[in-house]
Amino acid sequence: MSPKVWIDGKLFDKADAKLSVYDHGLLYGDGVFEGIRVYNGKIFECDAHLDRLWASAKAIRLTIPLSREQFCAAMEETVRAGGFKDCYIRAVVTRGPGDLGIDPRKSPRPSVFIIADLIAVYPREIYEKGISLITSSVIRNHPNALSARIKSLNYLNNILAKIEANDAGATEAVMLNHEGNVSECTAENIFIVREGQVQTPTPSDGILEGVTRKVMLRLCRQMQIPCVEKILQRHDLYIADECFLTGTGAEVVPVTRIDGREIGTGQPGAMTRRLMDAFHRHVRES
C-alpha cells in the first residue's frame, strides 16, 4: 500500500503532492472537507458524505468544480491507486489560488484534492477501557458567526479546545455552545445513556451533524432502542449511566470519565458495547 493524493485531476505520491501557497484554503481557511471511511474496498455512506460536502460548499458560496459522480470516481481512483481495501479518505475543496487579499473573486477556480491513507485516531485498548473528557472553556462558534453545521477548513475553535484537553491529560474535550449547553467534542459527536434511553444534542445546539451520528440514530431505531435528540447540560453528562462518542475516524468510542467524575461504573457500559457491536456489524454488511 502506498498513499496517493488526487489533486485537480492528477494522482501524486504522498511526498510529491503540493498546493500553491496562495491557495485561499491555506491562507484563510476558505474551503470545506469531508473525512470518509473505506471498508473492504467500498466507500462507507458515500451519499451522506457527498450530501454534506455539497451543503457545506453551498453555505459558503463555493462551487465544487466536479459533479457528484466525478467526485465519487476520483475518490475510488485514489483508493485503488494506493492499493487500499480499508482506509480513510480526506476530500477537500478550497476556494483555490488567489492573491493576498480575502476577496474570493480573486480565486477564479476552486481546487479539489483527495487523500487516501490509513488512520488510527485512538489506540485499540481505548475501545476496551474508555476515554476521559474535560469540559473546555472554548465555546463552539456562535451559529450567526460560522455555523458548526458547515464542515469548513476553519478548525481553530476545535483545536484550542483540544489543546485544553491535552494540557489536562484528558483524551478529548466537550465543547458547550453560546447558551452553555452541550454541543459536541472537538472531532466527535457525543451521546449519553440515561435509564435505558440514548440521548444526544440536537442540530441547533452547535453540532456538526456527523455521518456516524446519523448511522447511530438509525441503528437505535432499527434495534428499538429509545433514542432522542435533546438539549443536554453538563449536569446530564455527570449523572449519565453511560457515555460514548461517534465520528468517522474514531467510529464509536466509550467514555468513562468527564471532568474527573466517573461515568456509570467507570467501565464501558452494556448499551455502549451493544451499539459498538451493532456498528461494526453494519460496517461489515454494508
Cell numbers for 42, please give them: 467500498
Given this model, what pLDDT does residue 238 score?
98
For the cut 90, the answer to whether the pLDDT of residue 1 exceeds it is no
- One DSSP character per residue, 58-122 reads HHTT---SS-HHHHHHHHHHHHHHHT-SSEEEEEEEE--B--SS--GGG--S-EEEEEEE---SS
Average pLDDT over residues 39-61: 97
**What would the pLDDT profile of 122-148 be if each residue is shown by its tens digit?**
989 999 999 999 999 999 999 999 999
Given this model, what pLDDT does residue 110 score?
98
> Nearest 5°: phi and psi at 152?
-95, 175
Average pLDDT over residues 112-117: 98
Average pLDDT, the chain: 97
| Cβ contact 114:75 at 8 Å | yes
User: How do the domains of the chain map onto residue ranges?
Assistant: 4-117, 126-285
pLDDT above 90 covers a percentage of the chain that reads 96
**What would the pLDDT profile of 179-229 be if each residue is shown by its tens digit?**
999 999 999 999 999 999 999 999 999 999 999 999 999 999 999 999 999
Given this model, what pLDDT does residue 112 score?
98
Distance CA 50, CA 64 (A): 11
**What would the pLDDT profile of 240-274 be if each residue is shown by its tens digit?**
999 999 999 999 999 999 999 999 999 999 999 99
Write the CATH number of the domain with boundaries 126-285: 3.20.10.10
For the cut 90, the answer to whether the pLDDT of residue 83 exceeds it is yes
Distance CA 159, CA 165 (A): 10
Just list the catalytic residues: 151
Write the CATH number of the domain with boundaries 4-117: 3.30.470.10
Burial (0-12, 13-18, 19+ Cβ within 10 Å), 147 = middle
